[in-house]
Each structure stands twice: as C-alpha cells, then as structure tokens.
Structure 1
Amino acid sequence: MEFKISKELIEQIENLIHENQSHELEQLLHDVHFADIAEIMNELEEDNAIYIFNLLDSEKTAEILLELDEEVREKILRNLSAKEIAEELDELDTDDAADIIAELPQSKKAEVISELEDVEHAKDIVDLLRYDENTAGGIMAKELVKVNENWNVLTCVKEMRQQAENVTRVHSIYVVDDEDRLKGRLSLKDLLTTSTKTPISQVYIKKVDYVKVDTKDVEVARIMQKYDLEAIPVVDELGRLVGRVTIDDIIDVIKDEADKDYQLAAGISQDVEADDSVLELTKARLPWLVLALLGGFVSVHVLGLFEPAMEGHRNLFFFTPLIAAMAGNVGVQSSAIVVQGLANNSLTGSLWNRLLKEFSLSLLNGSLLSLILILGSHFLLGFELMIGITVSIALLTVIIFASLIGTFIPIILDKYGVDPALATGPFITTSNDILGILIYFTIAKAILGF
C-alpha cells in the first residue's frame, strides 16, 4: 500500500521533535521507507528536517539525501561537515555519490573527497565527475560484475561472489578481455548449467548492447526503452568497460526530459518548480511572454494594414479571433505529433512525404470545418452568405499553412540541434496567429475587393 502523508502525521512528528522525544520518533519512522521519510522532511521546517536527519543512521540518511528536494538537500548539506558528508557518500553507489558532490560548492568538493574512507570509491567518484552530466558517463555507476573471457566457470563464480558484495543489484554479468575491453555478457542460466571447468570463452554471449561514455543520456534512454533493458554497459573511447547505466537512472532522465519539454511547450524557458522564488519564476516565464507581446504588436500592425475593410465589411473583424485561434491550435497539434515522433524515434520517411501527408490531412479537416463555418455563420449568426464563403476559404487556407508550418519547424529545429519541443509552445502559436490574420485579410481583400 502506498504511503500517504497526512496533516495529523506531520503534526505528530513536529510535536515529538518539539518535546525532544527522539526514541519515540525513531520508533515511528523505523519501518518507513527512506523515500517516504524524504517526503516528510520536504514538508517540515528546516530545523525539524535536520533534527530527523541527525536522528537516523547514515545507511538510511544516505538514501534519504537522494530523494530530498534539491533546496532541502542543500540546506542539510550546508549543516554537515566535510567528514559527515563523506560518511553519507560512503554508503552510496558511485553515481549517486557523484551527483551529490556535484551540487556542493567548489571549495568543499575536494575536502569531501579527501575524507572518503574507501580510496577506490573516491577514485571512481572523481572519475565520474569528469563526464558531462547529460551523457552516459555522467549517469553511469562504476559498480558492476565482470569476468575475464580466459577464466573457467569455477573461477568466475568465485570472482563474482567477491564483486557482488559491492553491487546493490546484479542485472548482468559482463565479459571482458585482459585489457578490460567489453567482449559480451554471461547468462546466469548458462553459468549454473555448465561444467565448472568449462572456459567462459565457450559460454558467453558475444552480442551485447552498449553505449559510449559520451552518448547523450536521452539516446541511452531510447536504446534501453527500445530493447527493454534493465541495465546497459558503458565503454570508453578504447572499448573498455567503465560502468553501467541502470533503469532507475534512466527513469530520472525520462522524467527530467518530459518536464523540460512540457515547460518549453508552455512557454517556460528554464527548469523551474512551483515552489521556486518569484524572481526565478519570472525569469523563466517572462522571455516568452515578451515574445507573445511582440507578436501581438505585429498582429495589430497587420490589422492596421486592412483598415479600409472596417468601412464596408465590418463583419470580417468578428471572425478574426476565430481565425487566429484555429491557426494556433492546428499548428500546435501538428507540431506536437512531430515532436512526439522525434522524441521516440518513430518518425519515418522524408520531409516531403511528411509534409504531403500533413497537407492531405489538413485539406480534409479544413474542408469539413469550412463547411460547418459557412452553414453556421449564415443560418445561426445571420451573416451574408458571401461573408461566410470568404471566411471559410480563408480558414481552409490558414489550416493548411498552419499544419505545414507546425510540421516543418520542429523537424528543422531537430536537424540543427535545437530542442523541437520549442515548436509546440508560444513560438508556433504566435507565428501562426500572425500568419493566420495576414492570410485571412489578404483572401478577404481579393474576394470582396476593399
């Protein structure tokens, strides 16, 4: 059953802290999962969160650190000495420890690393810190189980027992040569059903999926999703096995990427959360709002070019919001589908084929919507039939152009290394609004002659 935080539980914990009932609080939290304790600490005031952190043993608090909100974790780490932070990191896998060290001030990083008791652990963490955080090297862990292709089954089992002590979960057994180059993987079933004297070279599976240290994390996620992998080995420039990426790290990558794309689509230019300061939220939102405002000025200017229409065809202006809204909506729909296809690598065929398909779709949808508009404007709103025909022709044209732009822009952005999610936000909406109004009045002028 999923753990739920209640107001009563928070009040109970705060009362125990206030009364300094450490033993009772420890008993209350004894069987609570570390992720749930982190959720509780996120809800508490800073002093109370630190009280709980200091109360629990380092084996549990190390895991809690990973689950805390970044702001809360920063406050707790600020109150710990370099030695105390090192004690927490000694309990974590290298990738998680490296992530926490990366958040520390530059002056404290070296001090914490020097306090780590396990020299090999410290060396692995330092090695991970040199990789870009958005690559396979930046998210991989050093802990894994590997065997040499020249060993026999008995030797492998002995070595695996020793290595597995430092590995939280054994997803795969990797096979390397004398230079630590990745050669393949070993099936546990084959290992258990083969004679102990059999050389591993006769048993291991030579085909193995892997990524390089500089492979982008989103590409790693795509590969693991495509081949349904729980873990994938990482090799360096020489093909040597240097680590592995596990599914829990990839889930974080997928979540972060989805959050970023969602915010871009909503017109937020940087990663923010609801609890961030007003200044940070303003910095994230304001650029796109300024763009939308500038787009509004352009729309007003475009409308000004067709001022003569106000004299003889005022009814046209009643349809302006409809045309602009349809242009924006169609553009967002088209771009959203393309962005999704680019994200999961399911977009196939040439650009021209994609545009032709989108043209056919928009022609069909636009024709049906235009027919509805003609009938509705005449029979429901009472406008002249010629006005309805004019607006309908413009609507059909706007829908076709908006869908083509919504398809074309994200593909081009992706080609030049710009996040295509940008095309699903205010950028595509604003540009299509302006284009829609321009097309609308241009067609109206050509038909009605003003």
Structure 2
Amino acid sequence: MNFELTKEYVEQVQELIVTENPEAIRTKMAELFPADITGLLYELETTEARYLINQLDTELGAEILAALDPNERREFLEAFTSEEISRYVNLFDSDDAVDLLNEQPIRVREEVIALLEDREQARFILDLLHYDEDVAGGLMQKELVKANVNWNVNQCIEELRKQAEDVEKVYAVYVIDDNGILLGILSLKKIVLANKDTRIESLYDKDVIFVETYRPAEEVSELMQRYDLDALPVVNVQGKLLGRITIDDVIDVITEQANSDTLAMAGITGDVEEDDTIFQQTRARLPWLLVGMMGGILAAKFISFFEGDLKIIPAMAAFIPIIGSTGGNVGIQTSSIILQSIADKTGLDISVWNRLIRMFAVASINGLIISGIVFGFNLLIGNELQLALVVSSALLSVVFLASFTGTVTPIVLDRIGINPAVASGPFITTANDLIGYGVYFGLAHLLLHL
C-alpha cells in the first residue's frame, strides 16, 4: 500500500521523539520504506531528524542518508558529530561516501576518514577524492567484481563469493590480467552455465566498453545511454581497471544535465537553486535578460522606421505582435528539437541539409495553416484584401525563416564551441523579430504601394 505522509503522521513521530521512545520509533519506521523515511526527515527539525535516524538500524540509516538531497543532507549533517557520520559512511558505497564527504567542511571530512573502521573503505575514498566531481573518476565506485583471466570457473566462483560481499549490485564480472589491465567482461550467465574446469580466457567477451578516468561526465552518460549499459568499467591511461560507474550515478548526471539545459534555454546561466541568495539568482538571470532587452530595443527602433506606414494604414499595427510572437515561437520550437538531438547525439547521422528539408516540410504545413487562419480572420473583420494578403504572406514567410534560424543557429553555435542551449534563445528571438518585422513592412510596401 502506498504511504501518504500527512501532518498528523509527522506530529505523531514528533511526539515519540519528544518523549524519547526509541522502541516505538523503530516500530513505526518499520512500516515504511527508506524513501518514505527520507521524505519524513524533510518535515522534521534538524535535531529531531538526528534523534530519529540514530534510533534506527545503522544499515537503514546509511541507506536513508545516501538517498537524501545533497543540499538537505549538508544542512542535516551539521547536527551530527564526525563519529556519527563515520558510522554511516562505513556502510556507503565508495562513490556515495565521496559525494557526502565533499559536502562537508575539510575538518569534518578528515575526521570522518580517520574514524572509519573499514580502512579499505578509507583508502578507496582517499583515492576518489583526487578526482573532480564532473569526470568519470569522480563518478566511479571502487567496489566491483573481477576475475583473473588465468582462473578456471571454479576459482572464479570462489573469489566472486568473497568479492560480492562488498558489492551492492553485481551486473557483470570484469576480466583482468596479472597486472590488473582490463581485458574484457564476463556475464554471470556464462559462469553459471560453464563447466567448473573451463578457463575464464575461453569465456569472456573481449569487446568491452570502458571509459578513462578523465572523461567528462556527459560523455559517460552518453556512452551508457547509447549502449544501454547498467555499469561501465573505468580504467586509467594504462588500461588498469580502477572501478565502475553504475546506472544510478548516470541518472543523476542526466538529471543534472537536463536541469542545466532547461535553465540555459530560459536564459539562466550557472547552477541555480530556488533557495539561492537574491544576488546569486540575479547574477544568473540578468546577463541574458540584458541581451533580450537590447534585442527588444533594436526591434522597437526598427519598427520606428516604418512609423509613417502605420499612420497611413493603422490596422497594420494590430498584427505586429502576431508577427513577432509567431516567429519567436516557431524559432524556439525548432531550436529545441535541434538542441535535443545535439544533447543526446541522435542527429549525428543527419546532415544540415537534411535537417533543413525536414524543418521546411513542417514549416510549410504549419505556415499554411496559420496564415490561412489569419487571412480568413482579416476578411471576417472587414479588412481589405490587400492587407489580408500582406499579413498572411508575412506570417508564412516568418514561419519559414524562423524554422531556418531555429535549425541553423544551434548547430553553428555548437560547432564553434558556444553552448547552444544558452545562446540560442535570446539570439533566435531577436533575429526572428527583426526578420519578421522586415518581411512584414517590406511586403506592405510591395503590395500596398506605401
């Protein structure tokens, strides 16, 4: 049955905490999944949450801490001693332990590592702390299952039993030589089905996909998505197996990248959270707002050149917003599709020319429908046929031109090394406004003889 966190439930838990009834707390928490307890912690005061989690089984407490939002966890752990933190970190996978420790002050980080009972875990953590968080080395965990190429299946199974104790999920066995160099991968199914005397060298698959420690997180994400991998081995420049990256770590990268791209397309630079300071949020939003403002000023100045035309046919002014908004919407829609293909590499095999053909086909259908509706509307409200032709023709042209800029701009920006998600929106909006107004007034001069 799905658990619903209500105000009454939170108050019941708070009452148990106030009365310091650990047995009742453990009984009540036994009804919940770890994810439900995580949600409950967000509703408690820091001291209450600390008391609650310290009454639970250490393994359950570690699972809950690992699942907490990093920002919430940072604040939450301020109430914990280094000894308490180390007790839980002992049970973390090495990559999760590094994530948690990177959130702590240096003093706390050093104290926790020194207090770890599992010295191999401490060594793993120290190794991983050398890597930046946004590269493969910073994403990997040291815990994995590996087999020497010279073993037979029986030896392999015996060793796997020992190694698997420290590995939360076993997706495959990595085959190495005597120097620890990654040679290939071996599925658990092959091990189970093989004769116990069969040598590993005759079973493993040499076509293994791996990544070097220095590769960017985005590249790791792309590899795992492209080849549908549950785990990806990580090697150093010599090819020595150092660790693995699991799918749950990549999901975090994908989510962060998607959030970053969404903010970028909205003209927000940097990683901004809702609870950031006013100055941080202003600094992230203002640059591209200023770019958009300059574009608006240019568009206003451009329209002012045709002030005389508007005095002759005032009805033209009513359709200026439609011209601008249609061009902007079409451009953003088109660029969003292109940005998506750039981000997930789905359009690598499609040439720019083929992209343009496809976008123009879509633009033809959309443009004819939109311009047809506006043409009919003009006639319906009694505008002259010539004005109806000008507005509808301008809209059709704007849809085509906006599709062109929306297709080409992200591709060009990406190829010259500028983040297309950040720059496309303001650039496309300004360009389409100017182009749209130019087409509109140009057609008016041509067809209305202004």
TM-score by length of 2: 0.93
1:445 corresponds to: 445
How many residue pairs align between the two structures?
449
Give identity over the alignment, percent.
Answer: 43
Q: CA deviation at 1:317?
A: 0.8
1:67 corresponds to: 67
1:147 corresponds to: 147
**Are the equivalent residues in 2 in contact too, given 1:335–1:423 (CA < 8 A)?**
no
SS in structure 2 at match of 1:165: helix
| Counterpart check, 1:96 vs 2:96 | yes
CA distance in 1, matches of 2:120, 2:30: 32
| Counterpart check, 1:354 vs 2:355 | yes
CA distance in 1, matches of 2:34, 2:377: 60
Q: CA deviation at 1:430?
A: 4.0
CA distance in 1, matches of 2:234, 2:326: 47
CA distance in 2, matches of 1:290, 1:15: 52
Q: CA deviation at 1:263?
A: 2.2
**Are the equivalent residues in 1 in contact too, given 2:70–2:100 (CA < 8 A)?**
no
SS in structure 2 at match of 1:43: coil
Q: How does 1:345-424 map to 2 (within 5 A)?
A: 345-347=345-347, 348-378=349-379, 380-422=380-422
Amino acid at match of 1:5: L
Q: CA deviation at 1:309?
A: 1.4
2:160 corresponds to: 160
Q: CA RMSD in A?
A: 2.2
CA distance in 2, matches of 1:442, 1:132: 55
Q: Deviations over 1:281-315 (max 9, x none)?
A: 44443433333333222222112121111220211
CA distance in 1, matches of 2:15, 2:446: 76
Q: Which runs of 5+ in 2 are unaligned?
A: none
CA distance in 1, matches of 2:318, 2:82: 67
Q: Deviations over 1:201-235 (max 9, x none)?
A: 12222222222222222322222223222112111
Taking structure 1 as reference, are residues 314 and 374 closer, same or farther at Cα in structure 2, changes over 3 Å only? same
2:13 corresponds to: 13
1:190 corresponds to: 190
CA distance in 1, matches of 2:279, 2:49: 26
Q: Deviations over 1:17-47 (max 9, x none)?
A: 2333333222211242222211111122333
1:251 corresponds to: 251
Bigger mean CA deviation after superposition, 176-185 or 68-77: 68-77
2:221 corresponds to: 221
Q: CA deviation at 1:432?
A: 2.3
Q: CA deviation at 1:327?
A: 0.4
Q: CA deviation at 1:92?
A: 0.2
1:135 corresponds to: 135
**Are the equivalent residues in 2 in contact too, given 1:233–1:241 (CA < 8 A)?**
yes
Bigger mean CA deviation after superposition, 5-14 or 88-97: 5-14
2:235 corresponds to: 235
Amino acid at match of 1:179: N
SS in structure 1 at match of 2:169: coil
CA distance in 2, matches of 1:425, 1:4: 40
Taking structure 1 as reference, are residues 285 and 59 closer, same or farther at Cα in structure 2, changes over 3 Å only? same
CA distance in 1, matches of 2:325, 2:82: 57
CA distance in 2, matches of 1:115, 1:137: 24
SS in structure 2 at match of 1:310: helix
Taking structure 1 as reference, are residues 55 and 433 closer, same or farther at Cα in structure 2, changes over 3 Å only? farther
Q: CA deviation at 1:319?
A: 0.4
2:432 corresponds to: 432
Q: Deviations over 1:367-388 (max 9, x none)?
A: 343233222211x221111111
Q: Which runs of 5+ in 1 are unaligned?
A: none
